[in-house]
Structure 1
Amino acid sequence: MDATKLRRAIARTPLAPVAAFPKRLARVARHDAKVLRVSARWLVTSREHHNYTYELTKLSRNHLAWFVSVVCDRPVTQVREWLGEIESDQVLRQHIERTTAGAARRGLADRQVRYARRIGWYAIVRATRPTHIVETGVDKGLGTCVLAAALLRNAQEGHPGRVTSLDINPEAGYLARSEPWSDVVDLVIGDSIASIGALDRPVDLFLHDSDHSRAHEKREFDAIEPKLAPGAILLTDNVTSTNVLAEHAERTGRRFLAYRESPANHWYPGDGIGVAW
């Protein structure tokens, strides 16, 4: 009996789990060894303790381009141009590197600029040309800078806009406090729900990226609903953890899609973008 016939014969016997165990063990060991190598390298080369930054895999980046294309009804070739636009913005990249190096919190931040899914935020802003964006959760201000960069490009093409950035931490947003990005950013320090209630102009694009508890995320979407302009888009950075935005979309008669990123050479499994429109 040849080897193939022998394996097939064993697979039909009670010995099948025992025979398959070495191969299964080898696959698990290879996977775990890779994770351990990547994790060990990150521990000695990175300073980040939360809001991890990384590049996307090539496949994940391609999927992100199609995700934005479908949501915004724009050709995927155009979306790819916008993704390349933010990635090749050397002025912004150098600003982030320089500001990070001199920041009080530099001991917990990497100087290398890695946008991950935020390039998708950029493309959505370029595609939809919002007049007023509201984001909750600013941290260092990396995402705020990305949104501001898209607004500045839109303004050059005759479509100006601003972003209202909400955070409860008075130290938040230090990357977005320099011109020209600060020219289109209104940084508001305080509770996000109270700040949303105080908004005095319609919101075209809303991004939840603050307290990621299910209860708080729901409160933010409920609070922003009466502030939205017709045709507004809702985004969540919490889509890999909750179904809050999907449920909100169903209640309010919107469509919903989710994208999950795949980080390149990082132990963290990644976050994603949820969108309702």
Structure 2
Amino acid sequence: MPQFIPQHLICPLTKKMFVDPVKTVYGTVYERKAIEEHLKQHQYDPTAGPGHELEMSDIKADQDMKKMIEFCRRGRSEWIQKEDDSREMWWVLWVLAALLALVCTLDVGYFLRAAAVILRAWFQPPIRDITAEQIRTGRVTPRDIDMCHMNNARYLRECDFARFSLYMRNGVFKALRALKASMVVGATTIRYRRALCIGEGFELRSRIVTWDDKAFFLEQRFVSTKDGLVCAVMYCKQSVVRSSPDKIMQHLCKRKVECPEFPEDLQHWVNFISASSQALRAESGLDEKNK
């Protein structure tokens, strides 16, 4: 909203606030340029009327009016500055509120780190062998621990990031985009052998072991850099949606690729998943509905 300007600070000719006020011998005040233009055509005071003659020599600078104008302009400037500061403060509050809502509703740290992992993998050398092992290094931080060792859930999160990096480097993500497919975790199992303590470094070794007609099967190992012990081993079933592992392999290798044999321990786990799935389908009556 514009600030109110007192009437006595407004020139009667220009209807605007004085910039260079002058006073006539009759005590009226005008803007210098405006009264000079008037006197070029009329030799009288425009407010007092034609009977009151006026010449250029009859006008003088009004120092008192100038001081009042400066005081008013200073107040207007401070008011405008306060308005700008208030507006900026509201913007800051809105941004902070939006960030707070974002942090409260989303796991922002997870998404930021996932983006950083993918970006870093983009600039790393590609892995030509689809079954080759990728090694990512890490260290247990205070945010990862409970009871001074790495929280069980943190192992699974670290495995997520390692798979993102692996799929970027071996081309699986690129093939998924080309085939308009996606992947989801269908099942995981993890065995903890020894705790990773706070400050301890580790290597996370990830590789695609084999695949079937619906999913890739990966092994991910946490190996301590302190003594080389395998502290945890995880198997992950990464199911392919709207495509198949065979099509992804053909896209990457430009030929049909035979899948490696299932290791015995992995096959036992796959059999368990299959049996569990059948039992759950029977329990929910899905088998009867499909008949």
TM tier relative to shorter chain: under 0.3
Q: Higher Cα Rg: structure 1 or 2?
A: 2
Write 1 or 2 for the structure with the bigger share of strand. Answer: 2
Answer 1 or 2: higher relative contact order, Cα 8 Å, separation at least 6.
Answer: 1
User: TM-score of the superposition, structure 2-length normalised?
Assistant: 0.25
User: TM-score of the superposition, structure 1-length normalised?
Assistant: 0.26
Write 1 or 2 for the structure with the bigger share of helix. Answer: 1
